[in-house]
Structure 1
Amino acid sequence: MDNNGQKYFTPIDFVLFALLLVASIAIGLYHALSGGRQKTTQEFLLADRSMKCLPLSLSLMATFQSAVAVVGTPAEVYTNGTQYWFIGCSYILGLLIPAHIFIPVFYRLHLNSAYQYLELRFSKVVRICGTVTFIFQMVIYMGVGVYTPALALNAVTGFHLWGAVLATGLVCTVYTALGGLKAVIWTDVFQTVVMFAGQLAVIIVGVQKAGGLSEVWRKVTEGDRISGIDLNPDPTVRHTFWTLAFGGVFLLLSLYGVNQAQVQRYLSSRTEKEAVMSCYMVFPCLQVALALSCLMGLVMFACYGHNNPIQKQYVYSKDQMVLYFVMDMLQDLPGLPGLFVACLFSASLSTISSAFNSLATVTMEDLIKPYYPSMTDARATLLSKALAFLYGLVCLVMAYAIHMLKSSVLQVALSIFGMVGGPLLGLFCLGIFFRWANSTGAVTGLAAGLVMAFWVGIGGFVAQMSSTIHPENFTDSGATANRTVASVTILTSITDEPSKSVGLHGFYSLSYMWYSAFNSSIVVLVGLLVSLITGPTKKDNLNADTVYPLVDRMQSVLQMLLKPKLFCDPTLDAEQITTHHEQINGYGKPERNTGTEEERKTFLPLSQRSYLEQETSV
């Protein structure tokens, strides 16, 4: 440790950090040289559809548990208390809905890319629009995901900035390009274990140095860091129970419902049941990750209180505090700082490698294969590997661009990534839940959603930067305000509650947790309106497998609620109740048991008719 409070790695720390990188590459080499040796696009891009639910669930969790979240969530809890913990409530619906709606629809269509769905449901134009939007989203975030932890590490430990950037980017590129999705998934499993181990080590040592669990609890309660349930309905308040538990649902849906990186994992499972189970198993994994991050924030407060390292100018932003805390607490335990840095970069590696693989997939399946249908599978596989390598180089270029644009634009990049997820969610919801939505409505709705997202997001950012900033939010080094906006990693901004705003400025003050809900709603509303004006999609032109029968299900439930006496009448036997239930759903028993097979199908609802036809063909 020098006079400026900066701490440095010991040789053991460097060895542990290097071992993480070597192990990640080794996993990629193993899968490149074993099994089918990644010789087909099915194996390279979809792991030969052979993955089990346990590694899938850990990979699903690791994909968006990025390094930004590992350093951001503890800093949020340290600064503003445990209100953010309530985002765990959103995990329930945020994972149940994908498990029972999105996964069955995508899996039964035997897709390779999530955006193939958009062509089956709408048109090739909608598919290309969705693909290009996703590529724009992920390319920006790749640079952010690599640069952010490297910058924090450089500021606190003196670790070479571009050495960390190159190490992360090149390692990801090598094992993703060599081992494909299977290597990415199993590397995620390894990196998840390292991530949890690093966080646990820091928490245990921090609790011990703070005087034990009882002392930690006393300090955080006296410091007012244990938050109650805030039921304030104001959507401009950054964190309340409503913004976290309900606004967070839409954020989770944009991540675990329709994002290519996650959909690709669902499609790689052996069966639809295992895909659904992997989604269920993500819930406890996310809860453990959230609990560890929040506990670390509380332990940080117990150790430092209000006398934080920023006041001593050891670090220049709250995002750097986690690494400073780690180096400070573990400086007498050689190897443990290296373990946590390995944990931090594990989160970064898992996110970036998933981005590489998903980008290579959508580029190959949506932008190249449709125009070169005669391409051999061997050539397509080789091209997919080249694309993964190319996106690795693009990641490094984006990291350099973000470095040149400085921290304020880094915040803009994070907000752009969060804003794009909402419109994409709205586009898929428009197709899955509304039969009458057409291609024109889909394109118009997506455009409207993106315009609104950028208007609100960038307008809010400019309004925040132009408003009066308290002096304590700056340092002599010229660091900008500690306010960040939405990111895919569910990173929270590290600020105090904003002051009340009115008019257009109040509109710009919308909590980032409502971004996905707001933007996706714009896409759906505009898409439905334009579809009705231009002519709704006719049933004859609709692929029934691309639609979830939400209206039919709701109608059935309403009919049951409107006639509760029928289902509670003790004088009716089970056969009579079943017969009536069939008749109110449009496929009464007499019609279903008479006539030819084709005639009987016409009495079934569209979704069931499609399923019956699929079973018959098999």
Structure 2
Amino acid sequence: MGEVTQMHFTTLDYVVFAILLVVSTGVGLFYALSGGRQRTTQEFLLADRSMSCFPVALSLLTTFQSAVAILGTPSEVYYHGTQYWFLGCSYFLGLLIPAHIFIPIFYRLRLSSAYEYLELRFNKTVRICGTVTFIFQMVIYMGVVLYAPALAINAVTGLDLWGAVLATGLICTLYTTLGGLKAVIWTDVIQALIMLAGQVAVIVVGTLQAGGIAEVWSRAQNGSRISGLDLNPDPLERHTFWTLGVGGIFLMLSLYGVNQAQVQRYLSSRTEKEAIMSCYAVFPFQQIVLALGCLMGLVMYARYGEDSPLDQGFVKTNDQLVVYFVMDVLRDLPGLPGLFVACLFSAALSTISSAFNSLATVTMEDLIKPHFPAMKESRATLISKGLAVGFGLVCLAMAYIASLMGSLLQAAFSIFGMVGGPLLGLFCLGMFFPCANPVGAVIGLIAGLTMAFWIGIGSFVSSLSTTDPGPNVNMTTAPTMTFVTSGSRPTGVQALYSLSYMWYSAHNSATVVLVGLLVSLLTGRMKGKIIKPGTVFPVLGILRDCYKKIFNPFTNLENKRLSP
């Protein structure tokens, strides 16, 4: 395969990209110099709990709508068709459950860190275990999120790789440190609009060049890229309605239910109702973003057909495919390629800034404050800002490590998903099972993480030994990845390694719950009087109330009929 074909930026493209960085910095400076000037941890870490529904909703959307998804979703649809669109079915319960279960519990307890809940429900040991697990998860992921889009853009456009990485990382660190969570949320809003504009520009121009939307759809149908409803229940099948629509629910819960980056946004809302409404508002935005990614994939297919730029040797990996397509489509429209690159880096900035802020929060609230309860507010705020800077530098270091990882880059994405499932299981164990005790929680978490890494790493190693992943790699939506292996249906341990990545969260969280319950029953179930009020969701009480509402009218009617 030859060298990657490069298409260079114009001056206007660089100007558009630079404007994004300047605006992001300006937002940070504004909130550093206005309001309370980020002098308290409540303002710096939780925006004084003063945010309204709309900005919180857009921030929730962009936090995990990373450049990986923008690069990955069109490539997925280009190679495998629109089956991936059925992931949108998981958004309904994936957002409804957090809105009515997780948010009310977290908000009413007036938490600063999601892992503070684990101490209230179990004990300090469980809280520290949850915090350390989350820190490991985010530190690994944020370096890759910064490096991956920069690498793809560098390969296709010649934009200086480390210049882009350093500029993005430092700007992100600067506005997060100066402006706190308010700056992070409002830059997320701006970045969400840029992401939308960049994707729409590429789709509109590409569709016009292909001859219109009818022609795009016709070519996609002729190329078998318009997928029907696949109801195959086999969990080893990579993408079916069940893996996407049901397995995706657990993936969404791990992202929007218990992840600190998202919980922190709920807690920054003015009221519990606004926090819940922000979760509802994410739903249509998520559907729009998913539809745009799928549509871009169809437009790519209409342009290239089966003869992809990867097959022709114009790019070396499928994550460079979207950038090549953008530069190819927009080559005669100066400024628009820069807009799309700004779109990619907006996604990266929103994810990384959320990571910095959430990591600073859990480190301060879970690991430092409990040991220094008398710490002055001004000192705590200064340390929180220092932590944000520190994690910014760690992010740059992780980006450098990611550059050395080669084929292990995919494994780093899997780590995010492998860790998210066990954390979800830990919170579900506490919220839904009053009998679960601290010993069961810790051992359940360890069992879930062990199972997650066993399957994830086993799947990765197995795929390398059986086939070249090539275009079968999934880089979409979530930070999880898996590979498709060829040949007959796997059996035994190999079948476990071939489990669809969309079931990872469900499988690993279920492991935590089952092991946690078993250990709790063996070591002595938690007594009701010991459990702090408000930390357990009353499932049985709600079911009993629903039963009464449904059947009482019929019972009363029957009693009246039988009464003399």
Q: TM-score, normalised by structure 1?
A: 0.88
Query: 1:79·1:494 contact (CA, 8 Å) conserved in 2?
Result: no
Q: 1:565 aligns with which of 549, 554, 558?
A: 554
Higher mean displacement: 104-113 or 459-468: 459-468
Q: Name the amino acid aligned to 1:416.
A: I
1:521 corresponds to 2:510: yes
Higher mean displacement: 348-357 or 309-318: 309-318
Distance change >3 Å, CA 99–CA 515, structure 1 → 2? same
Q: In structure 1, what is the Cα distance between the partners aligned to 2:77 and 2:448?
A: 32
For 1:502, the equivalent position in structure 2 comes to: 491
For 1:449, the equivalent position in structure 2 comes to: 448
Cα deviation, 1:16-70, whole Å, max 9, x if unaligned, reads 0000001000000000100100000000000000000000000000000000000
Query: How far is the alpha carbon of 1:555 from its aligned partner?
Result: 3.7
Distance change >3 Å, CA 567–CA 457, structure 1 → 2? farther
For 2:520, the equivalent position in structure 1 comes to: 531
Q: TM-score, normalised by structure 2?
A: 0.97
Distance change >3 Å, CA 235–CA 405, structure 1 → 2? same
Query: 2:69·2:477 contact (CA, 8 Å) conserved in 1?
Result: no
Q: Name the amino acid aligned to 1:253.
A: L
The aligned runs of 1:28-427 (5 Å cut-off) are: 28-406=28-406, 408-427=407-426
Q: In structure 2, what is the Cα distance between the partners aligned to 1:494 and 1:507?
A: 13
Distance change >3 Å, CA 304–CA 385, structure 1 → 2? same
Query: How far is the alpha carbon of 1:482 from its aligned partner?
Result: 4.2
Q: 1:542 aligns with which of 531, 549, 555?
A: 531
Q: In structure 2, what is the Cα distance between the partners aligned to 1:486 and 1:333?
A: 28
For 1:461, the equivalent position in structure 2 comes to: 460
- Secondary structure in structure 2 of the residue aligned to 1:236: coil
Higher mean displacement: 543-552 or 363-372: 543-552
Q: In structure 2, what is the Cα distance between the partners aligned to 1:443 and 1:496?
A: 34
Higher mean displacement: 313-322 or 359-368: 313-322
Q: What's the % identity of the aligned pairs? A: 65
Distance change >3 Å, CA 503–CA 3, structure 1 → 2? closer
Query: 2:9·2:337 contact (CA, 8 Å) conserved in 1?
Result: yes
- Secondary structure in structure 2 of the residue aligned to 1:544: coil
Distance change >3 Å, CA 512–CA 115, structure 1 → 2? same
Query: How far is the alpha carbon of 1:500 from its aligned partner?
Result: 2.1
- Secondary structure in structure 2 of the residue aligned to 1:545: coil
Query: 1:83·1:240 contact (CA, 8 Å) conserved in 2?
Result: yes
Query: How far is the alpha carbon of 1:213 from its aligned partner?
Result: 1.2
Cα deviation, 1:224-276, whole Å, max 9, x if unaligned, reads 00000000000000000000000000000000000000000000000000000
Query: 2:72·2:474 contact (CA, 8 Å) conserved in 1?
Result: no
Query: 1:486·1:513 contact (CA, 8 Å) conserved in 2?
Result: no
Q: In structure 1, what is the Cα distance between the partners aligned to 2:355 and 2:162?
A: 20
Query: How far is the alpha carbon of 1:494 from its aligned partner?
Result: 7.8
Distance change >3 Å, CA 552–CA 355, structure 1 → 2? same
- Secondary structure in structure 2 of the residue aligned to 1:502: coil
Q: Name the amino acid aligned to 1:414.
A: F
1:554 corresponds to 2:543: yes
Query: 1:418·1:487 contact (CA, 8 Å) conserved in 2?
Result: no
Cα deviation, 1:377-417, whole Å, max 9, x if unaligned, reads 000001000000000000011111111121x2111111111
Distance change >3 Å, CA 227–CA 305, structure 1 → 2? same
Distance change >3 Å, CA 295–CA 496, structure 1 → 2? farther
> Which segments of 5 or more consecutive residues in structure 1 lack a partner in the other structure?
474-480, 577-618
Q: Name the amino acid aligned to 2:58.
A: L
Q: Name the amino acid aligned to 2:540.
A: V
Distance change >3 Å, CA 498–CA 61, structure 1 → 2? farther
Q: In structure 2, what is the Cα distance between the partners aligned to 1:148 and 1:491?
A: 14
For 2:500, the equivalent position in structure 1 comes to: 511
Q: Name the amino acid aligned to 2:523.
A: T
Q: In structure 2, what is the Cα distance between the partners aligned to 1:9 and 1:61?
A: 29
Query: How far is the alpha carbon of 1:560 from its aligned partner?
Result: 6.2
